[in-house]
Amino acid sequence: MKLEEKKQLVDEIHATLANSSIVVLTNFKGIDVKTMSDLRGKLKSSNVYYKVLKNTLLYRAVEGTHAIGLKSFLIGPNAIAVSSGDPVSAAKILYDFTQGQKNFEIRVGALNGKILNFEDIKELSSLPSREVLLSKVLSAMIGVPTALVMALNDVPRRLINVLVAIKKAKEEA
């Protein structure tokens, strides 16, 4: 790879990292091509960028991004997973993949500038997805006004029931 191509690749990776919410370094040593292709397909369907890079290029690309803390972990073969969307889906896919593969390893991650170890990524993967959390918030927001309307409608209904009972009592008397 020529110097100009390397610079262009570093700039591309830097731009991707600058717009990311989560970055995860993985060790893929010992994974066959078919299995790696399956992982890439799952990640791509969740809009997660996954690429095997030389550490020297990645070392330069993380400069000035929230993933700068990953510099000290750039040893050995690394692949990088970057998501600018939902960080939970990326963590979930990678963690689930580690359960089926003994050779695949999640080394470290960065979530909006905070360094995450394997246990942190495991906890992140157990969270509900963004859509589920949004639906829970929305149902709570809808529930409060609905309960208020029902409470306000209950007062006139009870008053009418009392008036009907009084009318029946007067008619019988």
Mean pLDDT on 74-96: 88
Measured CA to CA in angstroms, residue 33 lies from 6, 30, 41, 43, 171 at distances of 24, 10, 12, 15, 88
Q: What is the pLDDT of residues 1-45, one digit of tens each?
A: 788 888 888 889 888 888 888 999 998 888 888 888 888 898 888
pTM: 0.71
Report pLDDT for 80.
92
Banded pLDDT at 108 (limits 50, 70, 90): very high
